[in-house]
Amino acid sequence: MKKKVAVSMQVRKKVVKGYNNQMPKWFYAFVPFKIATGGSSQVIPLYAIHLGAGAGEVGLLNAFSTLSSTVGTVFWGKLSDKTLKRKIFILMGLLSVSIFLSLLSFARDFWDLLAINAVYSFFLASTVSIPIVLLFRNVRKTRWDEAVGRFNKIGGWAWVLGLLAGFALVKFLSFRQLLLFFAIANVPGVIMALRTIREAPVYLHRNNIKPFVTQVIQKSRYLPNFIIHMPTKLKVSPKFAGFYLSSAFFWISSGMYVTQLPVYLINNGLTGQEIFGLALLNSSTSAMLYQRVGLKLKSKNPALALIQGYFIRSLGALLLLFPLTVPYSLLISALGSYILMGYSWSYVSVSSTSLLGRMSSPKEQGSVLATANLINSGGFVLGSLAGGFVVSQVDFALNFAIASSMGLCAIVPVLGLIGFSFPLHTPVHIRRRN
């Protein structure tokens, strides 16, 4: 009898081990989802402009979306932890894409679009961190890095595919029809998730999840794309003060830069298809560089890579200040700006996560990452509002000049992490990755 029980237990261990060694099939349910969200990410601001929105309104649209998404991430994450349920919240987030994209297609004016999009962002936030937490319950701990990288790679290239679909269809379909198209394209993902996601109710404390340096490809509206933690109390250790200040400058700069870029290009004669093409080039550039940047950081100080990313992003904004007197000068400067934006994002996203991981101890990584996410989201909201205000009150040139300058200001606090000493500077030890 004892022998039979021992054999039975051994078989069960093999089955569990075999399951944990495989990448979950529900990863592929996010392919239709990312196609829909990737393509619609460009349709929404273009549709707002089509409805008569100016620079201030587009800034407001992005600010409300970011704020709603941040609140939603905290709310759904805590609720899923409290109920120990993941599948229901993921399904809700996936289903919200089809529902709200359909509703957005019936928006009568900009204010309808703003309200629907804010609610949409709140529900969509359930797909940000909860799938990652579920992933940690479905995959062996020794393969977490690999699994997160695989999940983001699958979703990331699907995001690019969505942009490609938008680029091909925007010439033939109206913005309302495009929103309906992506709403329908998302449906297979909901069905696949319903069939393949296995609930894992075991509690997993988020503060025990370390920052991961993985090949993340997608970027949902340029927000921090690995939001697992949000702080319950805001504590800023002097050791991280420089990094947080740098992040604040960068995200304010990004809010002013990326939210006003489509408005600037449309106002100066570019078409919706050209905007889709530029966004596709931007995302593809990032996608091709993530793995290379990750490999570089094994032997390179991530602070250097972060400085490189900040500098390149500032150059991207600076390109938009060139005079529009030469033939095709706008298209050339836009092309360069989008490429540099994608190039810089691969450096900033990977190196900032790596830097946080190396500077913090295992016990403080959760709270450090939480504070960074809050600062990043707050900076983007502030930048979006500031960009809309500056453009509506002055012009685009001043907005992009300020964005570029703030990107360069972001470099200064990071210099202390590569050996430059400043008054009252606290030395920080940066561990090398194993």
Of the given ranges (262-266, 318-322, 419-423), which has the lowest mean pLDDT?
A: 419-423
250, 282, 97, 84 alpha-carbon torsion, rounded to 10°: -50
Q: How far is CA 345 from the centre of its chain?
A: 10
Of the given ranges (13-27, 295-309, 340-354), which has the lowest mean pLDDT?
A: 13-27
Mutual orientation of helices 130-138 and 87-104 as an angle, nearest 10°?
150
- 285: in domain: yes
Per-residue pLDDT tens over the stretch 53-62: 999 999 999 9
- 352: in domain: yes
- 170: in domain: yes
* % of the chain with per-residue pLDDT over 90: 45
Q: How far is CA 76 from the centre of its chain?
A: 17
- Does 401 or 326 have the greater pLDDT score? 401
Res 105: pLDDT:
94
Q: How far is CA 21 from the centre of its chain?
A: 28
Per-residue pLDDT tens over the stretch 341-370: 989 988 888 888 778 777 777 666 666 777
Res 430: pLDDT:
54
- 167: in domain: yes
* Domain span including residue 378: 21-418
Of the given ranges (93-102, 169-178, 237-246, 292-301), which has the lowest mean pLDDT?
A: 292-301
What's the predicted TM-score (pTM) here? Answer: 0.83
- 1: in domain: no
32, 34, 36, 42 alpha-carbon torsion, rounded to 10°: -160
Per-residue pLDDT tens over the stretch 246-300: 999 999 999 999 999 999 999 998 999 999 999 999 888 888 887 777 777 776 7
Query: Tell me, what CATH number does 266's domain have?
Result: 1.20.1250.20
Res 18: pLDDT:
44
Res 16: pLDDT:
45
- 15: in domain: no
- 426: in domain: no
- 212: in domain: yes
- Number of domains present in the structure of the chain: 1
Could you give the count of Cα atoms lying within 13 Å of 296 in the half-sphere of its Cβ?
16
* Structure token digits, residue 366: 């959760």
The CA distance from 270 to 274, in Å, is 6
